[in-house]
Amino acid sequence: MLLRTIFASCLLTGLAACVSSAPPPASTTPGVCSLPPDSPIQGHHISSELQQKAQQLSGANVVRVIRPGQTITPEPNAARLNLQLDAHDVVVRAYCG
């Protein structure tokens, strides 16, 4: 009976270790941009403070400000937050990539 109890304890401990070692979700991975859908960034005038707030909210390593008519490189970057502005420097779109 003692042998069964020890075996069962070892088995449950092993299973618990497998469950708890799962990697974190992608949205909490450091440096990977993940902006919440209800972010308060859109509709505000661009400033260095807003850029810092957006970077903190998204977890991105890089923030790129895109002005109307500006040429940008199309390569995706999971660590980048893009802030697209209108002619009055108001953020009209905030997206990762």
Dist. CA 86–CA 77, nearest whole Å: 22
Q: How many domains does the chain have?
A: 1
Longest dimension (CA), the chain: 78
Residue 92, domain member (yes or no): yes
Q: What is the pLDDT of residue 61?
A: 95
> What are the pLDDT digits (tens) for 15-42?
444 444 443 343 457 789 998 878 889 9
Work out the pLDDT band at 1, boundaries 50, 70, 90.
low
Counting Cβ atoms within 10 Å, is residue 92 exposed (0-12), middle (13-18) or buried (19+)? Answer: middle
Q: What is the CATH number of the domain that holds 51?
A: 3.30.10.10
Strands 80-85 and 62-66: parallel
Q: Whole domain around residue 57: which residue ranges?
A: 27-96
Q: What is the pLDDT of residue 9?
A: 53
Residue 31, domain member (yes or no): yes
Mean pLDDT of the chain: 80
Residue 32, domain member (yes or no): yes
Residue 11, domain member (yes or no): no
Residue 22, domain member (yes or no): no
Residue 18, domain member (yes or no): no
